[in-house]
Chains A and B, each alone.
Chain A
Amino acid sequence: MRNSTTGWLLLAPTLFILVITGLLPFVYVLSVSFFDWNTFAQNPDPQYAGVNNFRRLVFDAAFLKSLWLTLKFTVFVVLSQLVIGFFLAKMLMRDMPLKGLFRTVHTLPLMIAPIAVGATWRLLTVPGLGPIPHWMKEWFDISYILSRFPDQAFATVVIMDIWHWTPLVTLTLMAGLSNLPEEPLEQARIDGASEWRIFWDITLAFLKPVLLTTIFIRLMDALRTVDEVWMLTGGGPGAETRFIGLHIWRVVFPKTDYGYGSAMSLITLYLTIVMCWFLYVAMTGMKDKTR
């Protein structure tokens, strides 16, 4: 009993902070989502709307487009980062000249704030000023104008995110790879297994906990991307890079539509949890199957 009390006492500060910073805002947003509340409406007071805000979401083309773009972006960046990060991790596990320098340079983007990453890429890509449009025109005769061509904007946002966050994947996978037990690998080689079989059945199986954690972190980050994209494209051209975080920001802040914005936030949170859950089940299921 005494141990339990001490435990709760020790946990109390953390629980208090969690309640204040996590639970209460969530409950507040949940309650606001059931109201029509725009402070610039003729009636600026909250009006109870039941589930109408959630119903509106189903028919809101802008929201659905934003959601689709976010999912597309997430799939592109998370998969790319995993593949590139894995190869880089494997490469950095080997002895090679200037390995330390490369590892440091490769990790530098991680230390830059997202807003600064967006600003840097904006300077690189502004037509008439940035070097990328200049050289794209000079070398490939391509008019590279992010603010005009949706495909270029989307691709650039994806590349920027890959550049920014792949080092995190590399570092976590390096940690995982360095902890791989040598014996099963040696045994497999002695038994004549191919490199692909070794990778699929042993390396990947042992890396699953690290992979799962890395994918979760990157998935959640990608789904809530705002700052970099806001700085680079502002969600444009048109709404072609207006991912869900940016869309919610525009609804809640400039448009001051608090009720509807809250409903969007909750649905986005719900989708994130569902996706993570599916991923968890899929990956742990795969693990069981491997056994």
Chain B
Amino acid sequence: MMKLMLATSAIALALAAPARADFWADASADLQGVTIRGVSESTPPSNYVKDVLIPEFTAKTGIIVEYETTSWDQMFDKAIKDMEAGSGIYDFVYIEQDIIYSYLARDFLVNLTDMLEANPDLQAPDFDMAAFTTFIDNFRGADGDVFGMPMEAFIKVYLYRKDLFEEPAHQEAFKAKYNYDLAPAVTFDQWRDNAEYFANIDPNDELWGTTVQAASGHPASFYEFFETIAPSFGVYNWGINAETAAATVEKGGQMNSAEAKEALAFWISMLDYAPPEATASTWDEVASTFAAGRAAQGWVYGENAAWIATNPEKSSVVGKVGVMLPPVVDGVMAEAEAGEGYIGYYDGGAFGMPHSSKNKEATLLFLQYIGQPSVQADWAVAGSRVVHQATYDDPKVQAVDAIADGYFTLMRDKGYLFRGAPEFPFHAQVREAVAPFIYEAIVGTMTPGDALDQAAAAAETEMANLGYGGN
């Protein structure tokens, strides 16, 4: 009986296996030689797509993928202009979580749920929307349909140098100076003390107290302040009241509230303890600074956590990285636990298909290919991104998790405390109106208070110009 069952199973497997293995070849039979084009930011997860997933996909389907990885601002410019003009240059574009609302408002994207239902022959057997984490909800339209295939998701965490914090000589010297034990920061006062201490111990200025993503002419500084620092002081959604499109306290916003000003003042003051490249640092440079061992602690985008912690070719702090939740002021954690606030930034993005795509079938296959379970674990190891719930349990991911001080576990267990950008259709426009004042505060030509007062007023003017709120 056992032999019969085994033989039956073997036959069933033999019959089933080719069908599953050949799905990509079968589905793409009429698409051989078709070229699809995509654009994305050059990030570790994106580079994995270029270096690994695209060659695999092309080998299995015969569909050629031309994939452009460029700077963050160029990526958006190119994608938006292509979709606005309907020129059809790109078949898939990177949609950051914070821009999807603008894209949906403009009806730029193909409804992937509908398209999959309409094309059963193109549905990959291993692909399942239910396998994604709740991050996919960021890419759903009002009726719950999916408009973007999640490709990366991560949280912005507090990274610190375990080796420095555990060094007895530092612990002794720190306690002698500050009268309490040296430890990773759980309060902002502690962050400041840690930063001051480590910024002053290296006479060669090769080690600094903290990273600050304070590029003084790039929106990265706007994002670090409004999506990471301000929420941890209890200022959410950029300090904008979405219902009334108000930013100033007088009209019901929070952008120039006392909490926001305290947050900006703290963040700006950290420049005194940050390496000189801080005012030129975007997310990439912050990761490089930390990986080069030039900062004792910092806010770092999680997409970099794995390579900083594990890749000795790129990082000089392998095995020395500690990961924790960033500090928050009193009351913020409780609000985040209750779902009324959040403690930091949950970032990520998806690939979406513009209506102007000229090769929709081939693109749909590609999007499913990157969304299937079998590619997720290696991708997570390479780019510290997780979009499938099952990825957390993969042995490869767990092995990296152990070296990266539990980054993946932290993301799985505490990810709900973080949140992406607010659902603003005027995201880029208000950012461009507000960011110059943050730059002025960084350079010191405005006080943090003045900068936020003027920023809030500028935000309201911009929203009014765009027809929102009527301020």
List the interface of chain A (C-beta within 8 A of B): 36, 38-44, 62, 126-129, 133, 143, 145-150, 233-242, 250-251, 253-257
- Pick from A41, A147, A149, A253: contact of B77, CB below 8 A: A253
**B17 at interface by CB-CB < 8 Å:** no
Instruction: Sort A-B residue pairs by CB-CB distance and give the 7 closest, nearest first.
Output: A236-B217, A42-B467, A127-B276, A234-B217, A237-B216, A147-B279, A147-B280
Additional 8 contacts, C-beta under 8 A, given A235-B217, A238-B439: A38-B465, A129-B277, A148-B279, A148-B442, A238-B442, A254-B431, A255-B428, A255-B429
**B84 at interface by CB-CB < 8 Å:** yes
What residues of chain A lie closer than 8 Å to B215, measured between beta carbons? 147, 234, 236
Bound Cα distance from A189 to B79, whole angstroms: 66
List the interface of chain B (C-beta within 8 A of A): 73, 76-77, 80-81, 84, 102, 105-106, 215-219, 275-277, 279-280, 289, 294, 425-426, 428-429, 431-433, 436, 439-440, 442-443, 445, 465-468
Q: Given the known A-B contacts A254-B73, A255-B429, are A239 and B466 also in contact in the complex, defined by CB atoms under 8 Å?
A: no
CB distance from A225 to the nearest CB of B (A): 15
| Chain A, Cβ-Cβ closest to B81 | A253
What residues of chain A lie closer than 8 Å to B277, measured between beta carbons? 126-129, 147
| Chain B, Cβ-Cβ closest to A257 | B429
Q: Given the known A-B contacts A42-B468, A127-B275, A127-B277, are A236 and B425 also in contact in the complex, defined by CB atoms under 8 Å?
A: no
Q: Given the known A-B contacts A147-B216, A238-B442, A239-B439, are A254 and B76 also in contact in the complex, defined by CB atoms under 8 Å?
A: yes
What residues of chain A lie closer than 8 Å to B445, measured between beta carbons? 150, 238
CB distance from B208 to the nearest CB of A (A): 9
The reply to whether B294 and A62 form a contact with Cβ atoms under 8 Å apart is no
What residues of chain B lie closer than 8 Å to A236, measured between beta carbons? 215-218, 439, 443
The reply to whether B429 and A126 form a contact with Cβ atoms under 8 Å apart is no
The reply to whether A39 and B84 form a contact with Cβ atoms under 8 Å apart is yes
Bound Cα distance from A53 to B294, whole angstroms: 47
The reply to whether A40 and B466 form a contact with Cβ atoms under 8 Å apart is yes
The reply to whether B218 and A238 form a contact with Cβ atoms under 8 Å apart is no
- Pick from A43, A44, A234, A255: contact of B432, CB below 8 A: A255
CB distance from A32 to the nearest CB of B (A): 14
**Looking at A133, A234, A238, A257, which has the most chain B CB atoms within 10 Å of its CB?**
A238
What residues of chain A lie closer than 8 Å to B280, measured between beta carbons? 126-127, 145-147
> Is the contact region of chain A dominated by helix, strand, or loop, or is it mixed?
loop
Q: Given the known A-B contacts A44-B106, A146-B280, A147-B215, are A240 and B443 also in contact in the complex, defined by CB atoms under 8 Å?
A: yes
The reply to whether A150 and B467 form a contact with Cβ atoms under 8 Å apart is no
| Chain B, Cβ-Cβ closest to A130 | B277
What residues of chain A lie closer than 8 Å to B276, measured between beta carbons? 127-128, 133, 143, 145, 148
A sample of 5 cross-chain residue pairs with beta-carbon separation below 8 angstroms, ordered by A number, consists of: A40-B106, A128-B276, A239-B439, A239-B440, A254-B76
CB distance from A115 to the nearest CB of B (A): 11
Bound Cα distance from A283 to B106, whole angstroms: 53
The reply to whether A237 and B467 form a contact with Cβ atoms under 8 Å apart is no
The reply to whether B217 and A237 form a contact with Cβ atoms under 8 Å apart is yes
Bound Cα distance from A36 to B275, whole angstroms: 43
What residues of chain A lie closer than 8 Å to B217, measured between beta carbons? 147, 233-239, 241-242
The reply to whether A237 and B442 form a contact with Cβ atoms under 8 Å apart is yes
Bound Cα distance from A43 to B465, whole angstroms: 11
What residues of chain B lie closer than 8 Å to A255, measured between beta carbons? 428-429, 432-433
**Looking at A36, A40, A143, A149, which has the most chain B CB atoms within 10 Å of its CB?**
A40
The reply to whether A40 and B432 form a contact with Cβ atoms under 8 Å apart is no
Bound Cα distance from A133 to B205, whole angstroms: 13
What residues of chain B lie closer than 8 Å to A38, measured between beta carbons? 429, 465-466
Bound Cα distance from A266 to B360, whole angstroms: 40
